[in-house]
């Protein structure tokens, strides 16, 4: 694990979770690590990663996470891979799940790519546009089961690859970016001519396809999978899972998918098990109600955990949620509450940013 970021409330370990997929065993281990060494919570991020705060023994945490297969020996900082969270189970033009593990594996086999910025985002969009909404740097969107268009800096390139060649094309594009980047971190930081130069080096064939438009629909509640099993989608207050809830989630025994909207998807359940999971986990704080304001309201850590904050952002966000409780109409607009204009954890799409200072709340449309 890279040297963890230090914060006022202790060290912070960020565990990158390619495609947002965490196995039951990994989640169980994370819950134990959070209990033994952290503040007893797992924090979900806007890149579908998991953070543990308040760590005193960084060395011990690093060893435990490595042993659980959550931190590879190299490339840890650049394993930023977003994928359509429901792919292969509900909707989409293709099943991108196997491409996630292949991309992660082959990324680690290209030593030069370790030099990418930790902000560089790879993306695999199964055609519904949910990953494109994150404006990934090097990505592909599947227009059909066997054909995907390459996307650079969130821009459709008009270059298409066969599904078997997509992973190598995405990695080739990242290498072409690095060769031209001249210190810039993101594909969208390139000037037009340089970006055109990178696009010109892409493999694949030119073509056209319908543009992909994404409409955010919260993935909450009881969701039918195409194979007849059930996916349960939930959120937690402040995007923080208690270690106890994480342990119970791990005990379900199926893969959990974290989404960039900080949703928690429990996959591949029989109806009977799904029913039990609902009854056991809802009282523990997992919210399965699509009308809950927590499906639309998120926040940064704020004071006292962050030295830059002057306001207790979590409490303010909770008060906002409380004020909305019982409203007949669910909150439609996405809100993100922060303690300064760094706006950590902001969602990628359109949203309202509320900056809390000691004197006032400043509202900004993004
Ligand atoms: S947005 Fe500001 S106050 Fe909030 S966590 Fe980031 S740096 Fe701290």
For the segment 153-172, what is each residue's pLDDT rounded down to a tens digit? Answer: 988 899 999 999 999 999 99
pLDDT of residue 205: 72
pLDDT, one tens digit per residue, over 342-352 is 999 999 888 99
Domains in the chain and their CATH numbers?
Answer: 5-74+219-290 (3.90.480.10), 87-206 (3.30.413), 294-365 (no CATH)
Distance (Å) from CA 303 to ligand 1 centroid: 8
67, pLDDT greater than 70: yes
Task: Report how far apart, in Å, the C-alpha atoms of 193 and of each of 172, 185, 190, 200, 329 are.
Answer: 18, 17, 8, 10, 47
Does the CB atom of residue 282 touch ligand 1 within 6 A?
no
Distance (Å) from CA 337 to ligand 1 centroid: 10
52 vs 213, residue with greater confidence = 52
pLDDT, one tens digit per residue, over 288-311 is 999 899 999 999 999 888 888 889
For residue 254, report the phi and psi dihedrals to the nearest 5 degrees: -110, 170
Does the CB atom of residue 344 touch ligand 1 within 6 A?
yes
Distance (Å) from CA 207 to ligand 1 centroid: 43
Distance (Å) from CA 307 to ligand 1 centroid: 8
Does the CB atom of residue 233 touch ligand 1 within 6 A?
no
pLDDT, one tens digit per residue, over 187-201 is 999 998 998 888 888
Query: Going along 203-334, which residue ranges are E strands?
Result: 205-206, 221-224, 230-234, 240-242, 256-258, 264-269, 297-299
Question: Of the residues 310, 338, 353, which should be mutated to test ligand 1's pocket, given the most ligand atoms within 8 Å of the CB?
Answer: 338
pLDDT of residue 8: 66
The rounded percent of the chain whose pLDDT value lies above 90 is: 74
pLDDT of residue 199: 87
pTM of the predicted model over 0.85: yes
Does the CB atom of residue 300 touch ligand 1 within 6 A?
yes
pLDDT of residue 201: 82
Does the CB atom of residue 342 touch ligand 1 within 6 A?
yes
Mean pLDDT of the chain: 91
Does the CB atom of residue 301 touch ligand 1 within 6 A?
yes
pLDDT of residue 329: 62
DSSP letter string, 114-157: GGS-TT--EEEE-SSSTTGGG--SEEEEEEETTEEEEEETTEEE
98, pLDDT greater than 90: yes
pLDDT of residue 185: 93
Ligand 1 atom closest to residue 309's alpha carbon, by position in its atom list: 3
Distance (Å) from CA 288 to ligand 1 centroid: 28
Protein residue whose Cα sits closest to atom 2 of ligand 1: 340
């Amino acid at each position: 694990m890279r040297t963890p970021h230090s914060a006022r409330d202790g060290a912070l370990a960020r565990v990158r979770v390619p495609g947002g997929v965490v196995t039951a065993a990994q989640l169980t281990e994370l819950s134990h690590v959070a209990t033994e060494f952290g503040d007893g919570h797992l924090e979900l991020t806007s890149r579908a990663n998991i953070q543990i705060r308040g760590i005193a023994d960084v060395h011990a945490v690093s060893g435990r996470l490595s042993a659980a297969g959550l931190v590879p020996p190299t490339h840890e900082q650049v394993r930023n891979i977003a994928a359509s969270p429901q792919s292969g189970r509900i909707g989409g033009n293709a099943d991108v799940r196997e491409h996630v593990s292949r991309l992660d594996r082959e990324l680690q086999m290209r030593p030069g790519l370790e030099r990418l910025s930790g902000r560089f985002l790879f993306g695999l969009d199964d055609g519904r546009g949910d990953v494109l909404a994150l404006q990934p740097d090097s990505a592909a969107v599947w227009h059909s089961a066997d054909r995907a268009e390459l996307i650079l800096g969130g821009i459709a390139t008009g270059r298409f690859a066969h599904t078997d060649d997509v992973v190598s094309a995405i990695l080739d594009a990242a290498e072409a970016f690095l060769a031209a980047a001249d210190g810039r971190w993101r594909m969208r930081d390139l000037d037009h001519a340089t970006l055109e130069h990178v696009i010109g080096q892409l493999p694949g064939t030119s073509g056209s396809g319908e543009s992909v438009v994404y409409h955010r629909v919260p993935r909450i509640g009881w969701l039918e999978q195409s194979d007849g099993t059930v996916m349960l989608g939930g959120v937690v207050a402040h995007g923080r899972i208690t270690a106890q809830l994480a342990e119970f989630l791990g005990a379900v025994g199926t893969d959990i998918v974290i989404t960039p909207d900080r949703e928690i998807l429990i996959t591949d359940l029989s109806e009977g098990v799904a029913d039990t999971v609902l009854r056991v986990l809802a009282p523990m704080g997992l919210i399965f109600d699509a009308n809950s304001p927590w499906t639309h309201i998120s926040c940064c850590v704020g004071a006292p955990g962050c030295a830059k904050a002057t306001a207790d952002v979590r409490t303010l966000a909770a008060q906002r949620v409380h004020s909305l409780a019982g409203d007949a109409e669910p909150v439609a607009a996405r809100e993100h509450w922060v303690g300064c204009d760094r706006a950590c954890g902001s969602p990628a799409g359109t949203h309202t940013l509320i900056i809390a200072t000691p004197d006032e709340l400043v509202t900004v449309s993004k």
